A and B are shown apart, each in its own frame.
Chain A
Amino acid sequence: MQIFNSGFFWFAEGILFCVMVLGMRAVARDRSIPLTWWKWLAFGVWVLLAGFTVAFVGTSVGEGEPTAAVRGGLMFGFVAIVAAVVLWRVWMIGAPSRTTEKVAES
């Protein structure tokens, strides 16, 4: 899989992560979620985990080990998804609840 070795892949991945960071900031602003350094740290750890998953799959495919790519991808992919859910819950700490928002609006 030549694409994983190409500069374009890393360029695309970099853009994707920048969009994610901007998106997270926008969501936080819209929902009045306070952003702290440890939330960004958790996000950074998750980015590393997700990057590792992609790299593991790419490297395994490149090494001609499709079974390892599928199984490792599923295993680390699951961990990354669970970590994303945990990250979301961490990200939402301190956010005003929806009912509070509705009451304030009315």
Chain B
Amino acid sequence: MSQLFSTATVVVSNSQGLHMRPANLLVTAAGKFASNVTIVREGQSVDCKSILGILTLGAVQGCQLDLRAEGPDANSAIETIVDLFQRGFDEPTE
């Protein structure tokens, strides 16, 4: 099985930042992939499959985050997660 490595940079666009609901969406999404996915904010790196980890980032609107995935399905994992960020987690915007 090939080990792939994929990265992306995203910005938190939804107004309320990474609170419970978006964090839960991220955990659920990352959980569907075999790859390890991490989120890095200003050097702090957390497991994207851990809701506690994501909450610890305290990422508010406008935060820039680096995503890293490592594993057989790294590319599609990153694509799925970037899409969640780009849609602002489907939260109502102003």
Chains A and B form a bound pair: no
Which A residues lie at the B interface, using CB under 8 A? none
